[in-house]
Structure 1
Amino acid sequence: MGDAATTSLGVDTVMAGRVERVGADEEFRTLFTDSFAAVARTVHLIVGDRAVAEEITQDAFVKLLGHWRTVSRYERPDLWVRRVAIRAAQRERHRTWRRGQLERSVAPRSWVEDPDGPDDQVRAAVETLAPKQRAVVVLFYFEDRPMAEIADLVGCSVSAGWSQLHTARKRLARLLAEEVDDDVR
């Protein structure tokens, strides 16, 4: 049940066992196996904490299982579970951001190891963005998703998505320019 990508994220047979115990059909099991790691990576990029990302992703799949009779008839049930997970990640990120825990964090937040992923300066800059801006940046640049899909996933209009991306890019440009200037001196 757990493929290498899923188990490398720290998800053991517990969630896979839950899926088996409730008697999920083969289509659900396949969707779970094929999508869990990718959804967890996206959520991790948004919340910045692996354990929280895995918990949010598991919760999204549990919700999917509860709605499976309806969602299984959708053209893309994978987008339903991704949307649920991303919105939960945004809520979690917003709570963390509002409490100021991001700045007071003792240990730096690690991202999923990805050789093609962003470098440390970009990661640090993206982590300072507001939750919705961060989600839009992650989905647009790291997942290469079209803005119409991003808007649907984060719960805004397409024009609001472009506005969030524009504002985020301006902030990132300013932050990254400062870091480059500091490195040059």
Structure 2
Amino acid sequence: MTHCEALIIGGSAGSLDVLLKVLPNLSASIAFPIVIVLHRKPGKENLLTYLLSSKTKLCVKDIEEKETLKPSVIYIAPPNYHLLIEKDKTLSFDSSEKVNFSRPSIDVTFESAADVYAENLVCLLLSGANSDGTKGLQKVHRNGGTTIIQNPASAIVGFMPEYAMEHVAIDLVLEPEKMATYINQLVK
């Protein structure tokens, strides 16, 4: 079994559909935090949190600056800020330049999480239309963490996971229907 202290999920175009399939099947007893970083425009931030919380037994919340990650909680990254995970496992925002045309950048969050959690990190990259997430997955791999992508063939927009597969040693390629089962068997 894979040892997991944090799960970071990144995605862009088409990834919300995957989350709506995965979240209803997650166990309420997950013993690690889940952080979701999606490319989205500012406005109606609470709508995404409301939608996702209606689909899962876990607590879903918008991230507050300097908040400490807690087990069994799904954290939603805000639009228009990069999300960093600090050494003390708190969350911080950064409004620096876009990375891969995106803010929040999946790379920024994956890379900061890799520094904190090393081999105890699991990162999952979903559907999307640019290369964001690939550099972050490279660092996760170098630090001993687990790298997972959505099967590009099952993605609404397969470019993001396909690009990662071409440039990173991917540990696992999953169909959306298999993701919850995999996540539920992760142990802290």
Interval of TM-score (by shorter of Structure 1 and Structure 2): under 0.3
Structure of higher CA gyration radius: 1
Which structure is higher in RCO with an 8 Å CA cutoff and minimum separation 6?
2
Q: What is the TM-score with the length of structure 1 in the denominator? A: 0.27
